[in-house]
């Protein structure tokens, strides 16, 4: 076996054999295939695609490159959720304790933000003392004693994916749907969860801009999960407008706690409950009421135990940015559009996100929204508040907000986009 023949097969629109896939993933993980050679193969996959058998074998080979976790010793069924990423997408924070409060165990392996999309671990690290890095033994202990754990994936879980993901990020091959699907699903299958709900975002602030691309990605991932014995379902959800009223790390934690306390923005509450219902059904728990668990405080109780179990102080004051800048509405009327991508870029430029994985983030930086599409606004009223520790970044962030909203004349009818657009199972 040699890497040149593997590259040529896919370059010429051929089907990679199981032996070719197994060999190239193993050889790349060991360092026997160079980055530039894997880059060429990734580009050939981007341009020419893969069929279902190839994607399944590619995913299996990445799983086989590392360890697999097992939660059979738990007394509860396991259910996990993965989001493809968006702006203001803090759903994991209230969702994991909510599903645990309803009887499932939630082993949530999460990541950090890159570019305009926020990272769950970055958000939680704004809580004083909270730790993202847990050993497998610590993860199982937290999961067993609280019902939910949110932490970073260990280095032993699908190491081939970790190496390939970094390569795709710098070679223009991130968009390849076979590689996106296998990247996500190799980690989730290796994680060992019994069921999985995928939140595939659609819109300007999402990776998938069209519902057709989102359906293709969702269908591919559902098939991969199903073929591997993991009960898998996907919801396609709107990401044309930011979720909730905040985009930024500590800002989103504060809003998530409001949801767990029975309040919070309606779109965040609705999506949290919709995903919780799917996770509980996939785990075989039919009689739970996630809306009730938000109202009666049981989800909040799990949140507090989960945060404390990972070294965090659930009562600590969250960081606040040193500087704020208010953006006012330029006209009166009905706000009909607030672009998720533009808001995400502004939050990133303020310090809430990173351009490279090793960059630090500001816990208090981000964007606070004072109106959402459908709201009536008056000229001069606050529309957004920008938060940062470094005020010299305000002009940089404001540049990304030019054309970020539309305001129609008063009385204009507004038709809201539903938060859940489709379901793939």
Cβ atoms within 10 Å, residue 320? 13
pLDDT tens, residue by residue, 328-370: 999 999 999 999 999 999 999 999 988 777 788 999 999 999 9
pLDDT tens, residue by residue, 121-145: 999 999 999 999 999 999 999 999 9
Give the closest residue to 55 by CA, choosing from 24, 89, 11, 15.
Answer: 15
pLDDT of residue 283: 96
Q: What is the pTM of this model?
A: 0.93
pLDDT of residue 20: 98
Rounded to 10°, the helix 249-260/298-309 angle is 140
pLDDT of residue 248: 97
Query: Which residues on adjacent β-strands are paired with residue 105?
Result: 78
**Binning pLDDT at 50, 70 and 90, where does residue 175 land?**
confident
Least confident span in 3-17, 166-180, 242-256, 386-400 = 166-180
Q: 154: which DSSP letter? A: P
For the chain, give the mean pLDDT.
Answer: 95
Residues in the chain: 425
Inter-residue contact 285 to 104 (CB < 8 Å): yes
Same CATH topology for 79-154+187-309 and 323-408?
no
Q: In CATH, what is the architecture of 79-154+187-309?
A: 3-Layer(aba) Sandwich (3.40)
pLDDT of residue 354: 84
Encoding tokens for residue 56?
Answer: 């399944």
Q: 392: which DSSP letter? A: G
In whole angstroms, give the CA distance from residue 387 to residue 368: 8
pLDDT of residue 419: 97
Find out if CATH 3.30.470.10 is the number for domain 3-49: no
Asked if residue 272 has pLDDT above 80, the reply is yes
Rounded to 10°, the helix 298-309/92-101 angle is 110
CA atoms within 13 A on the CB side of 240: 14
pLDDT of residue 172: 86
In whole angstroms, give the CA distance from residue 84 to residue 218: 10
pLDDT of residue 233: 98
Residues carrying an active site annotation: 82, 161, 168, 183, 187
Inter-residue contact 283 to 78 (CB < 8 Å): yes
pLDDT of residue 113: 80
Task: Specify whether the backbone of 366 is left (phi greater than 0), alpha (psi in -120 to 50) or beta.
Answer: left
Task: Specify whether the backbone of 295 is left (phi greater than 0), alpha (psi in -120 to 50) or beta.
Answer: alpha
**Can you tell me which residue has the tokens 């359906």?**
215
Mean pLDDT, residues 402-409 taken together: 97
**Can you tell me which residue has the tokens 């296998």?**
182
Backbone angles phi, psi at 387, to 5 degrees: -125, 130
In this structure, are strands 333-338 and 376-377 parallel, antiparallel, or unpaired? antiparallel
pLDDT tens, residue by residue, 277-332: 999 999 999 999 999 999 999 999 999 999 999 999 999 999 999 999 999 999 99
Give the closest residue to 340 by CA, choosing from 233, 234, 222, 237.
Answer: 237
pLDDT tens, residue by residue, 74-116: 999 999 999 999 999 999 999 999 999 999 999 999 988 877 8
Domain locations in the chain as residue ranges: 3-49, 79-154+187-309, 323-408
In whole angstroms, give the CA distance from residue 131 to residue 149: 11
Report how far apart, in Å, the C-alpha atoms of 154 and of each of 2, 8, 162, 190, 207 are: 30, 34, 10, 11, 25
pLDDT tens, residue by residue, 25-78: 999 999 999 999 999 999 999 999 999 999 999 999 999 999 999 998 899 999
> b/e map of 348-370 (b: 16 or more CB within 10 Å)?
bbbbbbbeeeeeebbbbbbbbbb
Give the closest residue to 136 by CA, choosing from 147, 151, 125, 117.
Answer: 151
Domain 323-408: which CATH class? alpha beta
pLDDT of residue 222: 97
Asked if residue 239 has pLDDT above 80, the reply is yes
């Amino acid at each position: 076996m040699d890497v040149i023949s593997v590259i040529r097969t896919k370059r010429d629109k051929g089907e990679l054999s199981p032996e070719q896939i197994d060999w190239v993933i193993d050889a790349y993980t060991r360092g026997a295939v160079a980055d530039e050679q894997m880059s060429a193969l990734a580009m050939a996959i981007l341009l020419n695609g893969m069929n279902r058998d190839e994607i399944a074998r590619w995913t299996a080979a990445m799983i086989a490159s590392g360890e697999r976790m097992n939660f059979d010793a738990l007394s509860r069924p396991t259910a996990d959720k993965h989001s493809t990423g968006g702006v203001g997408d803090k759903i994991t924070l209230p969702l994991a304790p909510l599903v645990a409060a309803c009887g499932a165990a939630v082993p949530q392996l999460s990541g950090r933000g890159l570019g305009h999309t926020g990272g769950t671990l970055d958000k939680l690290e704004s809580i004083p003392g909270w730790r993202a890095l847990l050993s497998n033994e610590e993860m199982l202990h937290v999961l067993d004693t609280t019902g939910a754990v949110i932490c970073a994936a260990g280095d032993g879980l699908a190491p081939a994916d970790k190496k390939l993901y970094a390569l795709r990020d710098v070679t223009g091959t991130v968009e390849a749907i076979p590689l996106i699907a296998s990247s996500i699903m190799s980690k989730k299958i290796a994680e060992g969860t019994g069921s999985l709900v995928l939140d595939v975002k659609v819109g300007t602030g999402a990776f998938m801009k069209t519902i057709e691309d989102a359906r293709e990605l969702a269908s591919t991932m559902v098939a991969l999960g199903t073929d591997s014995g993991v009960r898998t379902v996907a919801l396609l959800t709107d990401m044309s407008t930011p979720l909730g009223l905040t985009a930024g790390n500590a800002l989103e934690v504060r809003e998530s706690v409001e949801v767990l306390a029975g309040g919070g923005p309606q779109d965040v509450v609705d999506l949290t409950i919709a995903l919780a219902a799917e996770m509980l059904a996939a785990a075989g728990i039919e009689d739970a009421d996630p809306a009730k668990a938000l109202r009666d405080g049981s989800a909040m109780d799990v949140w507090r135990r989960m945060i404390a179990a990972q070294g965090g102080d659930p009562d600590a004051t969250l960081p606040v940015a040193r500087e704020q800048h208010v953006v006012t509405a330029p006209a009166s009327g009905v706000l009909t559009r607030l672009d998720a991508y533009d808001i995400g870029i502004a939050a990133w430029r303020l310090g809430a996100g990173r351009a490279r994985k090793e960059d630090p983030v500001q816990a208090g930086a981000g964007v606070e929204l004072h109106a959402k599409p459908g709201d009536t606004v008056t000229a001069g009223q606050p529309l957004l508040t920008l938060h940062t520790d470094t005020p010299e970044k305000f002009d940089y962030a404001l540049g990304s907000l030019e054309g970020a909203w539309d305001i129609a004349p008063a009385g204009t009818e507004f038709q809201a986009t539903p938060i859940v657009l489709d379901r793939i199972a």
